Structure 1
């Protein structure tokens, strides 16, 4: 499966749990770590945890190996590493504070609609 399909699956999983402001940053040519960062947020810790669980469940369902998960217990910033796609699932307050979109401002940004149509 290519990274574009993978980011679509992860974005849909986030949307299914009503994640807010889902965006993908195309990291190809910018970072050696991954092809995409998928970024979204939830309103509270429980929703953030539910979004991360859905991403992991959909990865398993599609035969995608989850390399690593960080931050599950606190539910403030959960990172789900799918190798070619790294999902950053934030609590709204944490997302505003860390502002990865600005930090990686050189990356092309795609909204959920843009992800679905690519």
Structure 2
């Protein structure tokens, strides 16, 4: 069995890997935003919630491991220690994992889905 990456180099395949990982870990209210042509930060943004700080941290750890193993990519991670809001930058896909209260406060998906850009 090979340890070669199982996911190709495009953003769409990476997005599918990320969405599958979050689904396996019981992420809630998963929203994806297509950033192509709107921002240079990446091709897609994924925003989701975990029920607790512990679940948010665990989902982020597993996601980073899966992206490294299956796509051969190292991720930049911010906020894992507190578990309120974890940002994972995979290069093509930016992932935000929130506790519900923090997500409601920032309302990040509303900003991006209403035509905002950065």
* TM band (smaller chain): 0.7 to 0.9
Please name the residue that 2:20 is paired with.
12
Q: CA RMSD in A?
A: 1.2
Q: Deviations over 1:43-71 (max 9, x none)?
A: 10000011101111110111332331000
* SS of equivalent residue, structure 2 residue 41: coil
Cα distance, 1:19 vs structure 2: 0.5
Count matched residues.
107
Q: TM-score, length-normalised on structure 1? A: 0.86
Q: Which structure shows the higher strand fraction?
A: 1
Q: List alignment gaps of at least 5 residues for structure 2.
A: 1-8
Please tell me whether Structure 1 or Structure 2 has the larger radius of gyration of its CA atoms. Answer: 2
1:106 aligns with 2:118: no
Larger displacement relative to structure 2 (5-14 or 64-73):
64-73
Bigger relative contact order (CA 8 A; separation at least 6)? 1
Please name the residue that 1:79 is paired with.
87
* Consecutive aligned runs of 4 or more in structure 1 exceeding 2 Å deviation: none
